[in-house]
Amino acid sequence: MVDTSTPRARAREQTMRDIVRIGRAHLATDGAAALSLRAVARDLGIVSSAVYRYVASRDELLTLLVVDGYDELGDAVDTALGKVDRQDFAGRTKAIGRAVRAWALAEPATYALLFGSPIPGYEAPAEQTTGPGVRVVGRLVEVWEDAWRAGVIAVDEAPLKPRRLTRDLARLRKEGGISAPDALVARGLFAWAALFGCVTWEVFGQYGSATFADPADLFEQHLTALVESVGLA
């Protein structure tokens, strides 16, 4: 939790928010690879040396932007889920998908930072980014786990082959507290990858500019297919 108990602490927290805000603006105009602390300091109205009191390096700034992006995306998904009945498993899955797409189209530069090409020389620190980074897939897992416990999804409960895959899935199930069997976990991983694949394809303009009158129409078809692939249709 951030300390805001003193004026100095509150001023520092405000400066950190301003750094992230300005950093995201530069991300949109210049791209992640060209991100510069000096440029952020200039827009913040302080000398370049002073910004290092708050952010030690470009990599630290990138990490702040990664965490901020993941948190914002996770918040958007949580807000969307709050409007859907918890027993509407297909509706919850589609709400997640629509929220991801809407946020990605509104914040393409930050989406690219999170899900695009790796930035040369930068590796996101797992201890800071893994928790925020798994929020969306965690919500998807919750939907499918709830559906499984409610008896809505029927799948073969036998372990999958080869055995190394079974071991991998068993580890994921243990880490996530998942009771659903291997087959449903594998379906869920497919749907997760497919969802972000569909969004990425649209955000990065891979359909072309004039292929569809409204790409949202196609995305709705994709959502239906994702729901069916998990077994919720």
Phi and psi at residue 62, in whole multiples of 5°? -60, -40
| Structural tokens at position 141 | 């897992």
Q: How confident is the model at residue 233 (pLDDT cuts 50, 70, 90)?
A: confident
Give the pTM: 0.94
DSSP state of 162: S
* Arithmetic mean of pLDDT over the chain: 96
Q: Give residue limits of the domains in the chain.
A: 87-230
Q: How confident is the model at residue 100 (pLDDT cuts 50, 70, 90)?
A: very high
Instruction: Say whether domain 87-230 belongs to CATH 1.10.357.10.
Output: yes
| Structural tokens at position 214 | 């409204």
Cis before residue 118, ω within 30 degrees of 0?
A: no
Phi and psi at residue 17, in whole multiples of 5°? -65, -40
